[in-house]
Chain A
């Protein structure tokens, strides 16, 4: 008997029953198709942007409001200058064609070990916890989120939602199933592994800056 069979047999033995009948299965499948909605955290803030920013900043992230996508390069350049980061970045093509200032080197490929700056488009922002949701794909390379020391994320306000659950609704509406990777990111990488004292930049980005667009 395969390990799989052994385990399934043991599970059913433990539960004191054989395989579920069709009716029981159909009921469970219906629970997946129409997921029951559970209790959520109250987010009664009228101003979701303020809530998002306050929460995100509470974990050492920073935010800035910009008016249009065209403002992204200047905002990134200003940030790079203030932290003395060289004018070079990996940028997901999901952000479209941006007019970068002269002297900037922009790469759309996967992030390599020496990349210091990444610029990405968020898929959703969640006001509840001040988190962003990134999806993987050719236009949104996943390495951009984790390899660079500084990560700048563009979050259009119309993609800012209240709860995690709102992301699931949007994801199901998009109809593509789950992408290969989805990341909720809630601030810079951190560790408390040395004497329970928080240090930023453990392995992922040391700095995270969200450009709230709109």
Chain B
């Protein structure tokens, strides 16, 4: 997937003025946020499960080499193949090789963010393969030729009318406007693809060392059709996704859907272990797992190790006020929102990702909902520290901070300046309670208003109140 994080600021401004996007984003709040809160409240064990999940992940990370070996041995024993890829290029080479050997023409794909990391679609299409995304959301954005804007709801930014236009153009059928009719049309079109694809590629939410199984969790069943009907099934996953046993997995099954969509469970949780067995009349003939490192091993033992606990539920972005205002595309790469603002600089490098951690308001909502308790604000702050140490902080910002520090260290001066400041702002607001634009920082008020002070500082009010007594 193209890397456009350096354009964060312009893309964010663009997003704020995109009426369709803003409409779509307002759905998220009512949907995912409310439903997650309900699901968590209905389960007394939810908080304890989050602790346990974080502990299991920490245990795995501390012993990652061992569990990968165990997992690999179990896959091999089941007749499957495990491939390791150090980076995106390595992964593409491996997968292109498998597709070539399979004499593939058509490739179906279930949703996989790791394959986005690999820029896999571009590579496959470049080699002449037909690639069909089968998750409805992924299919929609594939038709629109756009990247996903959310890790579990990739087409969340699209309205029904936009989907109707895309389908009418792609399917050569009369334009449908009814939601059910749109879903039915996609079902019909994609059905034929499943049955004729030679290779099916899916993600892997979890890899179970005990059994050598890859696990996907879906609502649509597209991943199942993808991997069952193609001759060759390729799983793409990150090296950190292994967990020891089926009992450990059960903990994650209880928190993943609740955190992601607020469901008690998704419709399908599917375990795949190797190719079809003797006597089986369906299922793939070949089974491959491609495990991607791409910067993950470097996070081990670093200040960012906690990030490797991530189960890609999307809760952090659903609850992020910044994501809620600008959507996923502004972040410019595979992973948006809080988790993306940590991962993108770590995977793609500090250059060109300066704005991501700095767009964060450090309000902490992401951490409060993260099912594996990743301290996202701390990690974002740590990236800011590293940027500062690398001298990446813009000059103007540094000067402003220096000035602020000078004043803040002199209480009398500080209060004097504050008194003047609030009075000026109050008179500028002219009794309206808010400011539409700031003369010294018009950017800040480009898409929001500044609540105006009433004319007196906190300290003045406090002193007046105490004086009353």
> What residues of chain A have their CB less than 8 Å away from a CB belonging to chain B?
2-4, 6-8, 10-16, 19-20, 24-25, 28-29, 31-32, 35-42, 55, 58-59, 109-113, 129, 131, 136-138, 141-143, 145-147, 163-165, 168, 171, 177-197, 199, 201-205
Contacts and interface: CB of A to CB of B under 8 A. Distances in A.
Interface string B226-258: 001100000000010000111110110110000
Contacts of B83: 3
Contacts of B280: 136-138, 141, 180
Nearest to A58: B264
Interface in B146-169: 153-156, 158-160, 163
B246 A41 contact: no
A12 B221 contact: no
Contacts of B225: 146-147, 203-204
Contacts of B210: 32, 35
B160 A195 contact: yes
A143 B456 CA distance: 71
Contacts of A187: 267
A125 B151 CA distance: 30
Given A110-B282, A196-B28, A42 B182 contact: no
A36 B247 contact: yes
Contacts of A171: 246
Given A129-B264, A180-B275, A181-B283, A11 B64 contact: yes
Nearest to B23: A195
Contacts of A32: 70, 209-210, 244-245
B283 A192 contact: no
Contact of A183 (B251, B270, B273): B270
A193 B78 CA distance: 35
Contacts of A3: 83-86, 90, 293
The 7 closest A-B pairs by CB, nearest first: A204-B221, A14-B300, A10-B297, A202-B220, A193-B137, A178-B211, A14-B301
Contacts of B386: none
B417 to A, nearest CB: 47
B261 A192 contact: yes
Contact of B45 (A40, A182, A183): A40
B273 A178 contact: yes
Contact of A163 (B63, B180, B250, B299): B250
A40 to B, nearest CB: 7
B271 A189 contact: no
Contacts of A109: 281
B405 interface: no
Contacts of B221: 146, 189, 202-205
Contacts of B40: none
Interface stretch (B1-9, B186-194, B341-349, B395-403): B186-194
A136 B287 CA distance: 15
B293 A7 contact: yes
A15 B282 contact: no
Contacts of B464: none
B368 interface: no
A13 B64 CA distance: 12
Contacts of A197: 179
Nearest to B80: A180
Q: Which of B159, B194, B267 has the most CB of A within 10 A?
A: B267
B251 to A, nearest CB: 5
B65 A12 contact: yes
Contacts of A15: 62, 64-65, 300-301
A123 B408 CA distance: 69
Contacts of B84: 2-4, 7
B52 interface: yes
Contacts of A10: 293, 297-298, 300
B205 interface: no
Nearest to B137: A193
Contacts of B17: none
A184 B252 CA distance: 14
A40 B250 contact: yes
Nearest to B213: A178
Contact of B253 (A42, A164, A199): A164
Contacts of A16: 301
A180 B282 CA distance: 10
Contacts of A201: 183-184, 187
B220 A7 contact: no
Contacts of B222: 202-204
B432 interface: no
B212 interface: yes
B277 interface: yes
A189 B270 CA distance: 13
A120 B254 CA distance: 26
B300 A11 contact: yes
A115 to B, nearest CB: 11
B274 A42 contact: no
Contact of B44 (A42, A110, A186, A193): A42
